[in-house]
Amino acid sequence: EPEVTQTPSHQVTQMGQEVILRCVPISNHLYFYWYRQILGQKVEFLVSFYNNEISEKSEIFDDQFSVERPDGSNFTLKIRSTKLEDSAMYFCASGLLQPQHFGDGTRLSIL
């Protein structure tokens, strides 16, 4: 069964550094999403992406985040100037309409 793959599985970064999280969505899916889940909190929507542009974004997205689909397969999330509170699991998802398949996430630890 096709799956969404995310790399790396764990990223440790110094505060203030930029981080790029990578995702390979399922190939025939049209919508791509990034979510984050801070430990003990609920899954939080960050952005949805369709037809090579952002479809919807959360209130916090523009502060620090950007997304790209640099080629036909990868979908990346860039976090600028990381803060301690950015430590979380970051999930990529893809689907034909709704987020049908999630990756196993990247655990981001900011030191």
Partner 1 sequence: TQLLEQSPQFLSIQEGENLTVYCNSSSVFSSLQWYRQEPGEGPVLLVTVVTGGEVKKLKRLTFQFGDARKDSSLHITAAQPGDTGLYLCAGASGNQFYFGTGTSLTVIP
- Chain positions contacting partner 1, by CB under 8 A: 4, 31, 33, 35, 42-45, 48, 50, 55-56, 58-59, 91, 93, 98-105
In whole angstroms, give the CA distance from residue 100 to residue 63. 27
Least distance in Å: CB of 58 to partner 1? 8
Q: Are 32 and 96 in contact (CB under 8 A)?
A: no
If the CB atoms of residues 62 and 104 are measured against partner 1, the closer one turns out to be 104
Least distance in Å: CB of 35 to partner 1? 8
Least distance in Å: CB of 16 to partner 1? 28
79 residue type, one letter: I
Encode burial over 21-46: b for 16+ CB neighbours within 10 A, e otherwise: bbbbbbeebebbbbbbeeeeeeeeeb
If the CB atoms of residues 2 and 16 are measured against partner 1, the closer one turns out to be 2
